[in-house]
Amino acid sequence: MTADDPTATRGPVHIVGTGLLGTSIGLALTARGVPVTLADTSPSMLALARDLGAGTIESAPAPELVVVAVPPDVTSDEVAAALQRFPDAVVTDVASVKSVLLAELRIEARTDPTLDLSRYVGSHPMAGREKSGAAAASADMFTGRPWVIAAHSGSAERAVLAVRALAADAGAAVVSMDAGEHDEAVALISHVPQLMASLMAAQLVEAPDRALALAGQGVRDVTRIAASDPRLWSAILTGNAPAVSALLRTIRAELDTLLDAVERAASDGPLAPGAVSGISRLISAGNDGVARVPGKHGGARRRYTEVIVLVPDEPGELGRLFSEVGEIGVNIEDFQMEHSPKQKVGMAIVSVTPEAAQPLEQALEQRGWRVVAP
Amino acid sequence: MTADDPTATRGPVHIVGTGLLGTSIGLALTARGVPVTLADTSPSMLALARDLGAGTIESAPAPELVVVAVPPDVTSDEVAAALQRFPDAVVTDVASVKSVLLAELRIEARTDPTLDLSRYVGSHPMAGREKSGAAAASADMFTGRPWVIAAHSGSAERAVLAVRALAADAGAAVVSMDAGEHDEAVALISHVPQLMASLMAAQLVEAPDRALALAGQGVRDVTRIAASDPRLWSAILTGNAPAVSALLRTIRAELDTLLDAVERAASDGPLAPGAVSGISRLISAGNDGVARVPGKHGGARRRYTEVIVLVPDEPGELGRLFSEVGEIGVNIEDFQMEHSPKQKVGMAIVSVTPEAAQPLEQALEQRGWRVVAP
């Protein structure tokens, strides 16, 4: 990175909001030598981010770029304030919703002509964790993740380049979308899955312990993200309400069709007309949908073959397995551990390229491992 | 195991149906020295199970126990046939639904008094895979998994003991429930999660590639089990329709409440009255529900602390990590790999007991690993 490289952030970069994302961006830029200043309404959060090495808290008189990393419901106010306070700076935000922010800013610009939206480009790094706050931040949070750059029709080219450079400097894969395309995409692959996980998990609140004791990996996976923060998610979901409600209405219609089929079976028995076909149609559509979800490296998940190995539940055994897979010369594309309560043997589900699967199984068996799939 | 041990299966055991479960039970019993005979309507499936070592295909004139392992919609017919054909044998089945089978058998027994239901005890091993068929079978499939024994009011004690012995011999953890309790439990922790995953995945069928390219681990987890077999699941869901429809009606009511909140935000903006509170209530209920899902060893998942380590995407690197965790002397309680398209560094999420987390992080950092959580 040199001062002449137009594709790199020169700085100083001013970050407003030192939560998980703001602090992580500060850490990533600082690690690349970009000067970063930090601001937060909470002095203790601010001090924590500084102590973690995310930047300094001296005020920057003329930042090149301002990154607004506050909750979605206060983002447009902070973007407008930054545009006014720093008349030469490019301003971006990292909120999970984009259309509502742009609409709010455009309304404000109509009543206040000094608000220069050509310097604003919204963005959204597709990274995060169930934990929040600076303490969970990491310079590597964006490495290889998509980072959506959502320029609007009035964005200046220099502003778009500056935000693309920010995403690239943080190690992310830049994706260009307008605000509407972004919001529909995240409704589908993030916001509605969150709600489906929460709807399912909410049914478990009053469940008998004996029922929960039968839980396997399926319900664990379906409900995992239900552990997310209610305050943050309320702001995200109200901010993306048009796209989310359109999808929820479709799901409600499909749920009604499903419920009709299940209730036929409940009242007239398993072979009631329309019962099996109604349920089977939904499960088949689910088969088709899940096959389209990309796995690692952008491929569909079916590109990989699973090799299932039994692993004793003792320190070092998983390590021995992975070492030996490495010695055999096979790369692990994905990995999952499956087990149940009281189990003393786990199933290590190792995904590898199809051509590597059979040689790996044979080599592992020769080394004494118990491979489950024949 | 001796002939005098009343808690062990003596055999011969006759298995009707050599799919995934029937073949796995045959493999498990054969491994313990119990003589097993096999039957299937498909000669090629039967030959495959025999060749895999699940048992012989000679007919047993007087089996001690008959295990009916056929699809749920034909299970009661096969149970009745086995009770008639083998007048001294205990008969069990392994279907995922129990009440409907018992009801069908009781109706049949009312018209045919020779049908001796005292020798029938339903059961359900809580194990399985997304793949089906004998080729995916394994002697270890039931190791440590719950196996529900659903005796009915007329079951003979000898029959209950024989089926408990079968589950124990297969390595499972025996759980006693009546058919109604079982069906409500599996509706909650298996059947309805399956439908929620399918409903979500069905929305992805027509999704733009560019939207799917933003998918992260969240939507992957929520939709993973949507890859299940439509024929099998239609039979399971129609067979457990009363319990499933009751839960689905509750979910539809909660979805309506949620949709009302989201639509308020869609029409009147993110701060519309009732929008944030309606969404926040659901997300909070989901927090409470997911916290009750047991993790490994039967404990709630929060018993463990996550240590997140960056691992280069190269052969042997995961192995090195696990070896070193073993050398440090820490047992891995759970493990997950997180990554996104194009990423060349993965995040290994290692769950350990809370007291082991900080020493492990320090020891890994001393060895040069990059630990993400501070």
| CATH number of the structural domain spanning residue B325 | 3.30.70.260
The pLDDT, as a whole number, for residue B302 is: 45
Judged against a pLDDT cut of 50, whether residue B299 lies above it is answered with no
Contact: A201, B323; criterion CB under 8 Å: no
Q: Give a yes or no: residue A243 inside a domain.
A: yes
Residue with tokens 């969404």: B279
What are the Cα distances from residue B45, in Å, to B40, B54, B125, B133? 7, 12, 21, 8
Residue A5 lies in a domain: no
- A212–B245: do the CB atoms touch at under 8 Å? no
Note whether A169 and A222 are same-domain residues: no
The amino acid that residue A270 corresponds to is: P
Q: Is A201 in contact with B342 (Cβ distance < 8 A)?
A: no
Q: Summarize pLDDT for A141-180 with one digit per residue, the tens.
A: 898 899 999 999 999 999 999 999 999 999 999 999 999 9
pLDDT digits (tens, 9 = 90+) for B153-167: 999 999 999 999 999
By CB atoms closer than 10 A (0-12, 13-18, 19+), residue B107 is: exposed
Give the nearest partner residue to A259 out of B148, B248, B342, using CB atoms: B248
Residues B272 and B310 in one domain: no
Alpha carbon of B119: minimum distance to chain A alpha carbons (Å): 25
Residues of chain A with pLDDT under 70: 1-7, 60, 129-131, 296-303, 338-345, 373-374
Residues B213 and B155 in one domain: no
CB contact under 8 A, B126 and A216: yes
* Residue B238 to chain A, least CA–CA distance (Å): 5
Residue B341: the pLDDT is 42
- Domain with B320, as residue range(s), is 300-371
Q: What is the pLDDT of residues A240-250, one digit of tens each?
A: 999 999 999 99
CB distance B191 to B235 below 8 Å: no
Q: Flag if B342 and A297 touch (Cβ within 8 Å).
A: yes
Judge whether B1 lies within some domain.
Answer: no
Interatomic CA distance for residues A31 and A51, integer angstroms? 14
Interacting residues of B55 by C-beta distance below 8 A, sequence separation 6+: B13, B15, B26, B29, B30, B35, B36, B37, B38, B49
Does residue B114 lie within any of the structural domains? yes
Residues A262 and A133 in one domain: no
**Nearest CA-CA distance, residue B76 and chain A, Å:** 12
Query: What is the structure's pLDDT at A129?
Result: 67
* Residues of A with Cβ-Cβ distance to B202 under 8 angstroms: 254, 282, 285-286, 288-289
Q: What is the pLDDT of residue A100?
A: 94
Cβ of A332 within 8 Å of Cβ of B315? The answer is yes
- How distant is the Cα of A78 from the closest Cα of chain B, in angstroms? 17
Q: How far off is chain B from A13, nearest CA to CA, in Å? A: 23
- Domain-located, residue A352: yes
Mark whether B142 and B192 lie in a shared domain: no
Q: What does chain B come to in residues?
A: 374
Residues B200 and B314 in one domain: no
Domain end position, chosen among B290, B312, B331: B290
B309: chain A residues, CB-CB within 8 Å: none
**The residue to which tokens 């020169």 are assigned:** A10
The confidence score (pLDDT) of residue A332 equals: 78
Given an 8 Å threshold on Cβ–Cβ distance, is A275 in contact with B372?
Answer: no
8 Å CB contact of B286 and A197: yes
Is residue A1 domain-resident? Answer: no
Question: Chain A partners of B136 at a C-beta cutoff of 8 Å?
Answer: 373-374
Contact B91, B117 (CB under 8 A): no
Residue A335 DSSP class: E
CB–CB contact A144 B284 (8 Å)? no
Ramachandran sector of residue A370 (left: φ over 0; alpha: ψ -120 to 50; beta: rest): beta
Per-residue model confidence (pLDDT) at position A300 = 42
| Token pair 């319990």 in the structure block, residue | B243
User: By the 8 A CB rule, do B132 and B19 touch?
Assistant: yes
B66 and B160, same structural domain?
yes
Q: Are residues A127 and A90 in the same domain?
A: yes
Residue A312 within a domain = yes
How many CB pairs below 8 A link A and B?
Answer: 536
Q: Label residue B310 by pLDDT band (50, 70, 90).
A: confident
Output the pLDDT for position B339.
Answer: 56
**What integer pLDDT is reported at residue B298 of this predicted model?**
38
Q: Supply the pLDDT for residue A302.
A: 45
pLDDT in the model for residue B342: 44
Do B164 and B56 lie in a common domain?
yes
Domain presence at residue A8: no
Cβ contact A291–B227 (<8 Å): yes
Are residues A137 and A18 part of one domain? yes
| CATH assignment at residue A99 | 3.40.50.720
| Boundary (domain end) residue, out of A178, A207, A236 | A178
Distance from CA of B113 to the nearest CA of A (A): 23
CATH number of the domain to which B277 belongs: 1.10.3660.10
- Number of domains chain A is built from: 3
A37 and A150 share one domain: yes
Q: What is the pLDDT of residue A1?
A: 40
In the structure, what pLDDT confidence band is assigned to residue B340 with cuts at 50, 70 and 90? very low
> A169 and A20 in one domain?
yes
State both tokens at B308.
Answer: 């997140």
Which residues on A lie below 8 Å from B271 (Cβ)? 73, 238
pLDDT for the residue numbered A296? 43
Domain boundary among B178, B205, B228: B178
